[in-house]
Amino acid sequence: MSGDEQDVLAANAGFYRAFAARDTSAMDALWARDWPVACVHPGWRPLFGRDEVMASWLSILGNPAAPAIAFRDATAHLGGDLAFVLCTESLPGGELIATNVFARERGGWRMVHHHAGPIAPGADDDEEPPELLN
């Protein structure tokens, strides 16, 4: 595994560490400042720009009902100054699939996009998907 790949996976782990700890300062620090950012929370409309995205995280992390979260099966895909990570998010109510995009900025990898959405309950390698919407 390359050093960049390790760094991107470490940045992804840092995102979930900040999320699980409801650490708004860490969450703010790990999102890019020089790049345009976007975020799709499950079921939300897409959010664009740092102000809108960070307001959403303040709302989520400040909510006493915010669920415990963990992640697994992270894979990193790198190219130039952008990278994306896919991983499975585990929440009390089920699992989500996340696409997390990172960009190289000021010597590190910062998050520029997070998109999480549902996975079919019980979906695994041996099952057909429940519908063929897209």
* Binding region for its own copies (CB under 8 A): 19, 35-36, 38, 40-46, 48, 59-60, 63, 65-67, 69, 75, 77, 79-84, 86, 88-89, 91, 93, 96-97, 99, 101, 103-104, 112-113, 115-120, 123-125, 129-134
Straight-line distance from the first to the last Cα atom of the chain, in angstroms, rounded to the nearest whole number: 32
Our CB check for its own copies shows the closer of 25 and 68 to be 68
b/e map 78-105, b = 16+ CB within 10 Å: beeebbbbebebbeeeebbbbebbbbbb
Min dist CB 13 to its own copies, Å, is: 16
Structure tokens at 30: 């790990």
Min dist CB 65 to its own copies, Å, is: 7
